[in-house]
């Protein structure tokens, strides 16, 4: 009895799968047809709203020759733009840091506060003065 059920189950599974796939494709085609019909209805409504362009005179200037000088070289003085024209302005260079006088004043303040010894002050002052030249 089990031998007979397997072919039936297999046929039922294959048939059920085919049925579901067929229904899916039918639904998909119906949706596409509905979308196409809706789009056609919208297009025809828009065409009815717009006046027909056939049989009307063309707009002024249509089909006329171009104005004199159109497509010719520009007169002298209208050459290419100068270099950098139309470019964003260059960024300014960053500041080099505090000046030598500011650095020396800071060292003097530190020395007065007692943060620097005489030897450290002399060494730092020599490096500031020596590094600038």
Domain borders along the chain are: 1-45, 100-132
The rounded mean pLDDT for the chain is 80
Highest mean pLDDT among 16-25, 51-60, 79-88, 106-115: 106-115
The pTM of this model reads 0.30
Range list of H helices, the chain: 2-49, 100-113, 118-132
Question: CA nearest 108: which of 122, 88, 89?
Answer: 122
Rounded to an integer, the average pLDDT of 81-91 is 72
What's the pLDDT band for 54 if we cut at 50, 70, 90? low
DSSP structural state of residue 78:
-
Question: How far is residue 133's CA from residue 121's CA, in Å, rounded to a whole number?
Answer: 19
pLDDT at 2: 54
What's the pLDDT band for 41 if we cut at 50, 70, 90? very high
């Amino acid at each position: 009895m089990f031998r007979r059920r397997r072919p039936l189950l297999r046929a039922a599974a294959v048939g059920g799968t085919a049925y579901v796939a067929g229904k899916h494709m039918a639904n998909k085609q119906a949706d596409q047809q509905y979308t196409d019909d809706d789009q056609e209805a919208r297009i025809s409504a828009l065409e009815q709203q717009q006046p027909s362009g056939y049989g009307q005179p063309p707009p002024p200037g249509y089909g006329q020759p171009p104005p004199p000088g159109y497509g010719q070289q520009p007169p002298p003085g209208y050459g290419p733009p100068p270099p950098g024209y139309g470019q964003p302005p260059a960024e300014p260079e960053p500041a080099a840091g505090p000046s030598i006088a500011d650095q020396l004043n800071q060292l003097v303040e530190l020395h007065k506060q007692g943060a620097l010894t005489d030897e450290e002050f002399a060494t730092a002052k020599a490096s500031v003065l020596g590094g600038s030249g």
